[in-house]
Amino acid sequence: MRIVIVGAGMVGTQLARYLIQEKHDVSLIEANEERARHASNRLDCLVLQDEGNSTNALEEAGIAQADALVCVTDSDEVNMIICGLAASRYPEVIKIARVRNDDYVRLNRSGERILGIDYFVHPDVEASRSVLSAIEHGAMGDVLAFADTSYELGSIDIARESAFDGLKLTEFRTLVKVESLVTLVERQGESILPTGATVLAAGDRVHILTKEREMDAIFSLAGRAEKPLRKIGVVGGGRMGALIAEGLLEQGPEKRAGTIFSLLKSLVPRSRRRIIIIEEDYGRCKELAARFPEALILNEDISDESFVAEERIDDLDLIITATDDQELNMIAAIYLKSRGVSRAIALVTGSGYAAIARQLGVDVVIPMKSVVVDSILSHLMGGGVKGVHRIGDGSIDIIEIEIGPNAAVADTPITDFSLPAGGLVMLVNREERAFIPRGDYVFKRGDRIVLISKNSGEGKMEIERLFGASL
């Protein structure tokens, strides 16, 4: 594919780096001279220092031959205007705009096509989905859900002397009786696609596929016993904090109708939750108090040690740090865990900080930029590809594919094929029935499969050939 990206911030450069690695033709436009120079020095692609809403810049970047245009500048309106300019002359180009205004997303979801834009990506909504999904499983580890199935991919660190510590994967099924699959092991910065000979150890981060209802029991075998999350604190009352609070409070559909929360995963409350929102800005606290009368709003600085002791914040079951300062989010989460808070979720900017936060003991880390990039990639992929998620150190892809009519694997047993670089077919969704495939599984056209593989260029070409998809 040929892709023009406007905006060389963290999302734009991270997206460009991944696409270049996958052998796509990328052009990048950035108005800021310093950002453009930084991108040009680090990315093997055309980088133009110009305004994205300039038709000359778009033409020079190759919009006439492009398959897609992705606008990720800091301005919603600029992103939309650039897409509109491209739509007026090149309507066949896929146009994706990152926006934060709820109204734009709501119009797009209602079926209205604004300025010819094909897809809107809302960073706060994407991150909120990840937070709320993790909370549904007790905030014991990261959880990735697959659409239209009851299966999820959970990732958790193995505790010392837990049932998983020292377990050889050939013995996994004797311990875990339910349908499940160990798909990836992260060990000392390395991502390992496991075999039967792999032995799990304390400190490993394992990614396990199983049904949603079984996830908590498997997490407990890794040494993380579930604890009811009744008293939950949210640090930061900005857009992210407010979205998360809205999801946590027991508000019926009639209260959510027409709001941005209606786009989030619906939660099934396990118990009556008490929500505390901690926000330093007084004016914002007044707005939060009017919006969430069921919550306790505290106008305080989370870094104030005396406040933590006086308000008994250290007896929370869960703390979610969702300020705009990722360093504060990490430090507050780690500090409150040291004071006795059972679980902690921290929002950070990118995957680099996510790895650091996990090493320091944060239970669930949401790298917002990576979440947005994954959402954009899912829209960019070609025919047959329904979703792309990067896990581990970023070198491993989870790909959702619908088997095409010309796929090489069609009507063939799974035992006749081996994916490149140790890849694995994890899940099959056939006619609304999902299952983990065994050796007697035969690929059928129209099956929707989920596979895991290393994101090498050669591997992607082989996957395209086998499954009739375009990556």
- In this structure, the answer to whether residues 150 and 192 fall within a common structural domain is yes
**Cα–Cα distance between 136 and 132 in angstroms, integer?**
6
Average of per-residue pLDDT across 133-153: 81
**Cα–Cα distance between 161 and 23 in angstroms, integer?**
44
| Lowest mean pLDDT segment, chosen from 149-158, 219-228, 295-304 | 219-228
Average of per-residue pLDDT across 115-143: 84
pLDDT at position 270: 44
Q: Is residue 160 part of a domain?
A: yes
Q: Is residue 375 part of a domain?
A: no
pLDDT at position 181: 92
CATH for 204: 3.30.70.1450
Q: Is residue 373 part of a domain?
A: no
- In this structure, the answer to whether residues 201 and 234 fall within a common structural domain is no
The one-letter code for the residue type at 302 is I
The parent domain of residue 235 ranges over 127-131+229-368
| Lowest mean pLDDT segment, chosen from 58-72, 164-178, 181-195, 375-389 | 375-389
Dig out the tokens for 375 from the structure: 């959402």
Share of the chain above pLDDT 70, in %: 88
pLDDT at position 471: 54
- In this structure, the answer to whether residues 297 and 362 fall within a common structural domain is yes
Q: Is residue 376 part of a domain?
A: no
CATH for 97: 3.40.50.720
- In this structure, the answer to whether residues 155 and 268 fall within a common structural domain is no
Query: Which is nearest to 184 in space by CA: 156, 160, 207?
Result: 207
**What is residue 161's three-state secondary structure?**
coil
List of residues 6+ apart from 246 with CB closer than 8 A: 256, 259, 261, 292
pLDDT band at residue 234, thresholds of 50, 70 and 90?
very high
Dig out the tokens for 96 from the structure: 């994706």
Where does a domain end: 310, 337, 368?
Answer: 368
| Lowest mean pLDDT segment, chosen from 3-12, 177-186, 351-360 | 351-360
Q: What letter does residue 171 receive in the DSSP assignment? A: G
Q: How many domains, the chain?
A: 4
- In this structure, the answer to whether residues 184 and 270 fall within a common structural domain is no
Cβ-based neighbour number of residue 387 at 10 Å: 19
- In this structure, the answer to whether residues 275 and 361 fall within a common structural domain is yes
- In this structure, the answer to whether residues 116 and 45 fall within a common structural domain is yes
For 189-233, write each residue's pLDDT tens digit: 788 888 889 999 998 999 999 998 888 888 889 887 767 788 999
- In this structure, the answer to whether residues 239 and 361 fall within a common structural domain is yes
Q: Is residue 46 part of a domain?
A: yes
pLDDT at position 383: 59
Q: Is residue 453 part of a domain?
A: yes
Q: Which residue has the tokens 């606008």?
A: 71
- In this structure, the answer to whether residues 50 and 146 fall within a common structural domain is no
pLDDT > 80? residue 452: yes
- In this structure, the answer to whether residues 361 and 260 fall within a common structural domain is yes
pLDDT band at residue 396, thresholds of 50, 70 and 90?
confident
pLDDT at position 98: 92
Instruction: Determine how β-strand 385-391 pairs with β-strand 396-402.
Output: antiparallel
Q: Is residue 136 part of a domain?
A: no
Q: What is the DSSP string of 259-302?
A: SGGGGSPPP--SS--EEEEEES-HHHHHHHHHH-TTSEEEE--T
Dig out the tokens for 150 from the structure: 């009851």
- In this structure, the answer to whether residues 113 and 173 fall within a common structural domain is no
Q: Is residue 374 part of a domain?
A: no
pLDDT > 70? residue 257: no
List of residues 6+ apart from 252 with CB closer than 8 A: none
pLDDT at position 107: 65
More confident residue, 462 or 429: 429
Query: Which is nearest to 471 in space by CA: 390, 420, 400?
Result: 400
| Lowest mean pLDDT segment, chosen from 196-205, 244-253, 357-366, 368-377 | 244-253
Instruction: Determine how β-strand 385-391 pairs with β-strand 142-145.
Output: unpaired
Where does a domain end: 157, 190, 221?
Answer: 221
The mean pLDDT value of the chain amounts to: 85
For 66-121, write each residue's pLDDT tens digit: 999 999 999 999 999 999 999 999 999 999 999 988 777 666 665 567 788 888 88
More confident residue, 355 or 330: 330
- In this structure, the answer to whether residues 179 and 106 fall within a common structural domain is no
pLDDT > 60? residue 256: no
Average of per-residue pLDDT across 23-47: 93
